[in-house]
Amino acid sequence: MPESTYRPYTTKFDIEIDADHLDNVLGPLTNANAKALDEAWDVVQTGLLSWRTQLHLLAADTDARVRSHLSKEQLTGTAVTLLLDQSGSMRGQKMLFSAATADIVQEFLLTLGVSCEVLGFTTSHWKGGRSRNRWKWRFRPRNPGRLNDLLHIIYRSFTDNRASTGGWVYRQMLRHDLAKENIDGEAIEWAARRLLDHPANRKILIVLSDGAPVDDSTLSENGPTYLTDHLQEVVDHIVSAAQISIASLGIGFRPHNFYPQSGYVESPSDMGNALIGLLESILTKG
């Protein structure tokens, strides 16, 4: 593989954090944002009750079909990472259904005996943050590379073996101050490194996203295809290494140009059904 031309200008301000500790990065919620978060979480817990029930029923049916294809040893020897885009365009219904879907699907996988990790990615700031400020202080060298501060979030790690956590940790996805830019290539590299550290024989990475990577600060200084080129480079490398099966579920966006296997939904409410269907297809393939 040729040497990549992609690089971060600095990694000094990048953050990897457990979801429970997001206040340390974003600061405490304002009264208005706290009220909005409570209202959004109430929708997930009660307003989507019928939707959640239907998805649990689908998961139970799929569970039986998957078990008919795979042995217990094959299932316990599999690890799945769900990597969720948490950019600004995901706010609202997309993030509501992302939180509800992640909660039910991780329970579905753990009930099967499959190890599961749920991760999210965005940036700490809009339009560059401290990375861009450092570049400006250094006389603005041309083509500086990635110019924003990564925020990578662990909602559920592989070390958490509880079949259900009551979904509380996914409440943090609904914070109005969370969703900003999306730098997909580096997020996938991060998720893949974590997945490769897992002892499972079979490793699967699924990216849920509603669009191509966008960070205005980076693109304005490096060209309009800088982030998409890197995303394609990262996915191609994972495919050629053949240690991880990678796929994507697009939400109002068809990601097939980037990934060897993908699904697509027009409506966020279809995310749960589509993700379970995609997982069934990948798990039972071959």
Residues 244, 202: Cα–Cα separation, whole Å: 7
pLDDT exceeds cutoff 70 at 165: no
The total number of residues shown for the chain amounts to 286
Q: Convert the pLDDT of each residue in 82-140 to its tens digit.
A: 999 999 999 999 999 999 999 999 999 999 999 999 999 999 999 899 999 999 887 78
Model pLDDT, residue 256 = 73
Model pLDDT, residue 162 = 67
Which of 109, 189, 203 lies closest to 156 in space, CA to CA? 109
Map out the domains of the chain with their CATH numbers: 15-284 (3.40.50.410)
* Average pLDDT value over all residues in the chain: 93
Residues 176, 165: Cα–Cα separation, whole Å: 23
Close Cβ partners of 25 (under 8 Å, ≥ 6 residues apart): 15, 17, 124, 151
Res. 1 pLDDT band, cuts 50 70 90: very low
Contact 152, 109 (CB under 8 A): no
Res. 170 pLDDT band, cuts 50 70 90: very high
- The gap from C-alpha 144 to its chain's centroid, in whole angstroms, comes to 26
Residues 77, 208: Cα–Cα separation, whole Å: 23
| Whole-number percent of the chain with pLDDT over 70 | 97
For residue 68, give the H/E element and its range.
helix 49-69
Residues 152, 155: Cα–Cα separation, whole Å: 10
Looking up tokens 């603005």 gives 140
DSSP annotation of 167 reads: T
Q: Three-class SS of residue 202?
A: strand
Q: Convert the pLDDT of each residue in 19-78 to its tens digit.
A: 999 999 999 999 999 999 999 999 998 999 999 999 999 999 999 999 999 999 999 999
pLDDT exceeds cutoff 60 at 286: no
